[in-house]
């Protein structure tokens, strides 16, 4: 059975012409009939009630656009921190199938909702054709005077030693040449992306500000077990929807 996956950092709600960009993403999901969409920097207007999904929630907007096309998806969202001073920013998964919550785990040392360095991993179980698959998404922080990437990764993946397939997709914030990436590989995780003949992975990030102008690979879909990769594409390169491109992968279960 084929499973179509997309990981996309949405860049909160700060993009210009955001309604057009939301429509572009929804059109691509519909065109490709994507099964699971892992999303990071999923924002909505901040309020003190963190349990509500607000009307401007980015994931909800995509859900509504897909419904207008006659497509039914389930939205799973959790706010993680306050960002840009005005948003509740979190993680979300859009799924064609109902999911059962598996875990929501703090992975950063920082546990202050007002602090942008707060990080969590969000995981759900999918039961499909008699197979149990754990789907998780996260947005890792990088190593600084407080946080350590390797510690965040180990906390995010401590459920890895399950018998079923575990898929962890998101913005890892590390490049393939880094010691942090080598740590991931040392834990026997499998990068579903295929490098070029020159052993280079296609880039998924291109910042807009002067500090982050370079193009880099920061986003990955990883698994704890080998699966057959049928196709990989980097989406939204020419018609950009965020400071990150979309990472699209088809696998055979």
Ramachandran angles phi, psi of 39, nearest 5°: -130, 140
Of the candidate ranges 49-53, 54-58, 231-235, the one whose mean pLDDT is the lowest: 49-53
pLDDT tens profile 68-99: 999 999 999 999 999 999 999 999 999 999 99
Q: Residues 105, 8, 243, 176: is their CA dihedral positive or negative? A: positive
**Distances, alpha carbon 186 to alpha carbons 37, 73, 136, 224, in Å:** 27, 36, 20, 12
SS3 for 188-199, per residue? Answer: CCEECCCCCCCC
pLDDT tens profile 145-168: 999 999 999 999 986 556 799 999
pLDDT tens profile 119-146: 999 999 999 989 999 999 999 999 999 9
Give the largest CA-CA distance in the chain. Answer: 51
User: What pLDDT does 216 receive?
Assistant: 87
Domain 2-252 has what CATH class?
Answer: alpha beta
Each domain of the chain, given as residue ranges in start order, spans 2-252
At 209, the pLDDT band (50, 70, 90 cuts) reads very low
DSSP state of 132: E
pLDDT tens profile 220-249: 999 999 999 999 999 999 999 999 999 999
């Amino acid at each position: 059975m084929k499973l179509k996956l997309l990981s996309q950092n949405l860049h909160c709600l700060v993009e210009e012409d955001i309604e057009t960009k939301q429509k572009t993403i929804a059109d691509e999901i519909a065109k490709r009939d994507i099964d699971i969409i892992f999303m990071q920097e999923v924002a909505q207007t901040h309020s003190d009630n963190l349990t509500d999904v607000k009307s401007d929630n980015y994931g909800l907007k995509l859900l509504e656009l897909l419904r207008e096309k006659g497509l039914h998806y389930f939205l799973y969202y959790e706010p993680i921190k306050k960002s840009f001073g005005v948003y509740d920013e979190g993680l979300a998964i859009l799924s064609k199938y109902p999911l059962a919550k598996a875990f929501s785990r703090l992975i950063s040392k920082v546990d202050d909702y007002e602090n942008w360095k707060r990080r969590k991993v969000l995981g759900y179980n999918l039961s499909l054709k008699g197979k149990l698959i754990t789907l998780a998404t996260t947005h890792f922080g990088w190593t600084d005077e407080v946080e350590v990437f390797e510690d965040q990764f180990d906390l995010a993946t401590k459920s890895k030693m399950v018998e079923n397939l575990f898929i962890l997709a998101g913005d890892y914030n590390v490049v393939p040449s880094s010691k942090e990436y080598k740590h991931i590989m040392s834990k026997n995780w499998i990068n579903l992306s295929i490098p070029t003949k020159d052993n280079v992975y296609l880039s998924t990030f291109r910042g807009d500000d002067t500090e982050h102008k370079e193009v880099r690979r920061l986003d990955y879909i990883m698994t704890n077990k080998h699966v057959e990769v049928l196709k990989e594409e980097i989406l939204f390169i020419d018609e950009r929807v965020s400071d990150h491109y979309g990472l699209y992968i088809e696998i055979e279960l």
